[in-house]
Structure 1
């Protein structure tokens, strides 16, 4: 059914109502700004189609529809809906339900994301596509899953097992060789000691040679930089000067324009050639007033000059200069002040050192004379010995005698009467008596100590009692300690006196050096200098001098201007005989001259203002021109400092960018030079003549041979004696162990596991391949009609760039026919996603309308965000729906959409201006309805294939991109007219889009069948040629691949990535470079591990590479071409080879 009329009498938000009559049965454009009633038309139709509980009350709406046989009227009063057919009340026609109506209203907000209706369509398509199969569950089955790194561990274990086996074999071979060396070990021991010294000398020579080469390399790198380099210059400085120059040029142009306007104004007064007497006197009056102002300014300027002169004098004094001599002295640069500061620091350091030494000497004082410490120490020793001896007692001798007598008698009686215990006790008593006798004998040591003390030059104790001796011992110990302290102080004072003499000498030299540098600059050598304060004083001094110069120049200029102005005024007044009387020697002031011409001032004001405008503009022009010259001179000076001209700006910027590297290179050169000199000095005392000769000639192989030979002999100096026993021990252990057999067993087990992993991978790959074949065949045989129709519409909307299908997880997704890559809806651009949803809804509507009456399709600004070309494609496709009887309403606030629809339809669509209809705005103008011009495709007439490719800006062929991303020019170089038609009419640019176009039944009819077959063959040739080129070439290696391999640590990743980039990501070249030692320290085991990973991930293809002729034959073998077409269509391969970027 087609809507012919709609009457809205009462609807919330619409007041008053309006009517749409005589609607077009095909396309109707409802144009108008926001709030003009566009969306209300959709609401009114929805209220007429169905009633809901939440509908607003008081609705009064009516509409008229027509079909092939009848006319239908529907009215709604409040909540009641009544239908009539040809004026007779009837039941409602079969209409879509509440869910189906949503497909007819396509608004912008409903195209930004999947709506409830879109998800319902997706769910229905998913149910229809599955057909009872759950292929995704099969893909997820453990037998068919193939994790990305599965099998890597097994491959690594095989590699490690083989490496371990090789190591064991090498160990056994080395053990046999060691056994054969046992007789020669004794001879090696003698030569090894001499070899060690020679080895060390060779190593030192190699280090010195390496240092010399590093020095030469750094000098060569430094020589590669241009001279001079713009030290201290930055890009910001250059950009700022260029910006100032441009701005000053614009300011100068504005000043000249202002001057031209002032000149025109002056000419307009009619007084440009000469002023009448009144105007001349007015000029005199103005000059007299200016003279008065200048006089005031001169007074103020003199005050400022005096202040500037005072400030300059203060700044000079702060720097230690005589203000009277400051102007005659050279300027103070930061470098010279920095040198003075360093001199001052040395003087200050020398002063502090002298003061510190003098303070230490003063603290030591004068040490008084005292006894030498040696006699005191000897005397104290004798007194301590004396005190250690026991004191003799008289009763001890008496008791000893009685005990001896009793013990002897008891022994005699025991022997006489045979009583042996008595005899034993008596013998014990006699032994104790002997020990006591020894103790008493040692009492003689006190007398000896007393005699030795008397021989010393010391005062003896007052009495030789224990108390007297103890007191004298304490006195001697104190005297000994004091004597030792005084002796140490005298020694320290002698050292400090010598150090003070040297410090005073350094102090004098530092002061003389400071005075020598400060005197020529007029500075006080005693002035304390610091970097921060020096910079501040220097800036203040420089600013004060510049301010003084500016004030002096300004005063001179103003005084000159004042004298010139006074003379001019006097001349003018004298011409008119109006000069005031002047006494002898008197200088007329501006006030007097102003009073003389006040009466004549008004006669020349207009001309005078115009003339002043010209003068001001001239001065401004001069000022702007001077600024421009100064800036230009500054910019040119930068180039001159760099040895360049302003025309060499890129070269200057390049040198600025190289500054940091140049400075680093220069520093590296200095470090290399110091390193070489140090190593050469260490070598000269230890090397023989031949080693020095090799070093001088740079014969590194000879040095390394000598070092290796010496190292081989010297490595076993300490171990030769133990080596023989160790060899015998290892031989015995090797006879008892079976490590070689165990390594073979582990290697074989790892190989079996790897074989199992390979078999699993092959089964999983084969299973997934079969599942993909089944899925594609199932999709071809059971693809829902609605999905196929939506795919067809979506391809037309996007010029065959995209297609529509269900993903393996049965979700809607777009397919890029250039790269054959799927894109989920949330990754598409807003415009592309809107086109997909429009195609999906239109296709679903066609299926729904098999059971219901069709309704108008309403698009509410659905193409607002679509680019002009896609707008035309979508609109053109919707226009094709008109042939099936579809009525379309398009609501838009963009007036130019009318012109776009006219272009798509080929005729003027029926437009309804709602703003004019409802008297809420003005009608659209012709300019508003004008469509922007579209980009045109160059015509091939007069072009060769090469020039036409340049006009089209055709990219080359990247062999690592998908075949669908090849530009169709490379397939149609011999048919430029056909290429032009595809680009212009079908807007096809790439092979994927062309392949999609050839598969579209509706568009296929627009191409002749021979051309269709030819294009299909050429597409197949391009696809198979690309596959042949990739044979033997693994996928390029990137830094991400190296990091994912796990074989390259953080220590080597930067160097290995650099080598990889140098070889263009070629895995074979990278591995060969690593094996050649380009990454020093990168172990062979890691290279093998990296090789295994690259081969498992497809970066290494073991197949041989094909040359161009082999690729030609391989591609032809895959495509069935008639014999007469081979020479014509197979040229595509040559064209692709010529455009190859790799």
Structure 2
């Protein structure tokens, strides 16, 4: 009987609990099938609930704006954004790999001697090409001159230039060759066997000598009606020449200097040596580098100077008192922020003393010494900009430049404006008030409107209400969210602002 009673009590309790369960689910007792269906999905629900907790935990690492954006965006948009970012990261990885491969290739190239060998080969090829170019130029010059002489020979049996060139070639080669002309080009005739040689058949040294002979003949031909022999100027003719050509050049110059002055410019000592060897004592070497040094010494002789020792006052505990000792000037509202004293950026006398010992006297100089001081200077620059709102710069007559073309500066009214601005502490607003009140007589349109517009556009006049100290500090706190009221940066701002507005 007791067991039956307990079983009935348990059944009644189970029924009450079941009723309460269904009421909480807002599900009628007869919808048992729906509960059975939901029971089958319990594992999937638990898994999604676990995933949700993981995502919420991961999202907590981001800022509020990112979390808000994640809540507002739909799932497919987030997946699309994630796909786009993944593609960008993949491309970035590819770029990094390419850059790494290029860097490795560069390192290998710089470590090996392949680059050095390539540079040597390039230099040798360039020298060979330059030599070929000179030969080509010489050949073309001789060919063109031969055509001129050939044309002249058609009317004169013995062209003067040819006779002069032959004479010079005999002198330069010590009677080994004379000069003649064939059908289309010069020929050098050997005095030994009488055999004519074309340019291609001559050695490189003899070709150089022949070229000198023709140039000298042409020069003498141009001078034939003058009593003067003009000097010749050569610039490193022996550069990129072999020994045979260099010797031929030196011998030709040695013969030329017997009749006229020759200037040979070079920075190569071996060329000077060859000229001295061939020409002898006639060579006078002028060291232009030594002349320049001597000229500089004469023009600006050395003077010993005494460098004054700059004494920086030793730091004291009272930072404000240290400013007095240093003679720190008050800040100017409209002067460049970098010109204020370094004192405004710090709060410790010893740190300031260290900067001053390095001659960092101004805030602009001190800001380059550390990122913290650079940040503080930017904060003070923003404070200065806010303090300038609604406050006018002093305006003088000398500031009235680049005025609009409509402003007639040749009137009595404009002279009256200049006289008005000669008084001290005048501002753009003062001038606007004087014009509108009629204090400036006979100032008519369009000059009047043009000048007023110019004053407002250039910032000399303003209708804005100036911010007070607390308003500026509030602006800074809103604009720079990392700024704390009890930080050194806040102290630097308030100290500078108080000095600025007082």
TM-score interval, smaller chain: 0.3 to 0.5
Higher relative contact order (CA 8 A, sep 6+): 1
Q: Please tell me whether Structure 1 or Structure 2 has the larger radius of gyration of its CA atoms.
A: 1
TM-score normalised per structure 2: 0.37
TM-score by length of 1: 0.17
